Structure 1
Amino acid sequence: MADQHEQQASQQLTAKPASDSRTVLTDIVFPSDTNHLQTLFGGVVMEYMDKVAAISAMRHSRTSVVTVSTDSIDFVAPIRVGEVIIVESFVSWTHRTSIEVYVKADTENLKTGERMTAVTAFFVFVALGEGGKPTAVPGVVPGTDEERSLFATGEERYRQRRKRMEDRKNKGS
């Protein structure tokens, strides 16, 4: 019954453009945030990504959210001391109470202006309503080619996550 109620509530919410949730954080990399190779610690990057993704999820749902999953965190290039990190996120897909957020972290060399993508990931949040219970979220309307591409593959990522979580639950029993 509760699941049916959530589904009806979700259908009554008006879908929102992905662009409404877009969030950007820019920071410079100092030595205190780096490892012995003078590249940004992966955990620091993940913290930035989680914060920016949470802001996107809250902008979309206008509720509190909690992180429930991170997928495909791919570190593809180092972020070095003195470079700038630009972390950008937007809601890429939603399902009843969950919000998938695509996040990428670019690096910029301030002397040359060269930019490259350093890290990409998907973060998934659950929206919380009264009493800390999951609550329905609006759908998302993709606008750019990137948003449309990620939206089109969102349901498959959702199914893979559900299967992974179910497999883990079954192994624990």
Structure 2
Amino acid sequence: MPQPKHAHESMTVMTEMVLPNDTNTLGNLMGGRLLHFMDIAAAIAAQKHSNRLVVTASVDSVSFAEPIRLGNIVTMKAQVTRAFSSSMEIFIEVWAEDIPAGHRVSTNSAYYTFVAVDQSGRPIEVPAVIPETDDEKERYASALRRRQLRLVLAGRMNAQEATELREFLKV
């Protein structure tokens, strides 16, 4: 069993500038390009936590609250919230900044799930997460419900087996 790690050890901050080739015809960052940036930041956080190769297993709903414009600086902050046997949930927050205007806005957040794999691509055990701050503890505690919901929606878990989720929903 790998030694547990503190959640903050996986913290990854990634910054990109929105260039013309990243935008749609309205001059906004294309959603797929943002998802690409987010996937990279989340993968780095998962690798920092697991010290292993990682693959994306799922992405929870991502909504685009605010447009990110050409020339904006996009900052992503990713951190592992909880680890299971070989999978890790990563929370990622995104901000867009118009530096000349002095304006910064939160645009997106999402939960990604990554699986650590060995050189043959087989899942491999990862360290547990030690949450410390109030935010880390809350995300850690609610991660099991999110995991059960993902598994139920993917058809990999029977809803009756999702005890944590059922208790939360009082069903």
Asked if Structure 1 and Structure 2 have the same fold, meaning a TM-score greater than 0.5 normalized by the shorter chain, the answer is yes
Which range, TM-score by smaller chain? 0.7 to 0.9
Counting aligned pairs with the same residue, the percent is: 36
Number of matched pairs = 157
Q: 1:78 Cα deviation (Å)?
A: 0.9
**Match of residue 53 from structure 1:** 42
Are 1:150 and 2:131 an aligned pair?
Answer: no
Is 2:97 the counterpart of 1:102? no
| Deviation for aligned residue 1:21 | 0.5
- Equivalent residue runs for 1:1-173 within 5 Å: 12-166=1-155
CA RMSD of aligned residues (A): 1.5
2-structure distance, mates of 1:123, 1:98: 10
Partner of 1:5: none
Give the partner amino acid of 1:86: T
Instruction: Give the TM-score taking structure 1 as reference length.
Output: 0.85
1:134-157: CA deviation from partner (whole Å, max 9, x where unpaired): 111111112233222211110000
Given residue 34 of structure 2, which amino acid in structure 1 is its aligned partner? V
Shift of 1:160: 0.4
| Stretch moving more, 112-121 or 93-102 | 112-121
The residue aligned with 1:3 is: none
Return the TM-score normalized by structure 2.
Answer: 0.86
